[in-house]
Amino acid sequence: GAGVSQSPSNKVTEKGKDVELRCDPISGHTALYWYRQRLGQGLEFLIYFQGNSAPDKSGLPSDRFSAERTGESVSTLTIQRTQQEDSAVYLCASSDPMVTQYFGPGTRLLVL
């Protein structure tokens, strides 16, 4: 079946612009996660959704970052007024009831 998909795959933007990243989870997966991974670094947790509520948003680095999820489907991560330090790969994962996470291919964001 279809895996997790993310769009766009690559995004180049100018400092100060807003960007919106999209994640389509595996159908039926109620849990959805967003992570950030800077070059050569580990995964940095951003936010976790269970259904369309976010019981853990402790990893969002600033109020410029927000995320929402429609039902148990698509999620969008929005970064307002982008900064150069926001440049990274943004990974989305969804999980089955056994907690196994399946990752999308990521969105590579470059802020100039």
For another protein, the binding residues (CB under 8 A) are 31, 33, 35, 41-43, 45, 48, 50, 55-56, 91, 95, 98-106
Q: How far is the CB of 80 from another protein (least distance, A)?
A: 25
Question: What 3-state DSSP class applies to 12?
Answer: strand
Q: How far is the CB of 91 from another protein (least distance, A)?
A: 6
Task: Write the CA distances from 17 to 26, 33, 81, 83, integer angstroms.
Answer: 30, 24, 5, 9
| Of 25 and 104, CB closest to another protein | 104
For residue 6, the tally of other CB atoms under 10 A from its CB is: 21
| Of 65 and 90, CB closest to another protein | 90
| Of 16 and 55, CB closest to another protein | 55
Q: Are 50 and 31 in contact (CB under 8 A)?
A: yes
Q: How far is the CB of 58 from another protein (least distance, A)?
A: 10
Q: Are 32 and 69 in contact (CB under 8 A)?
A: yes
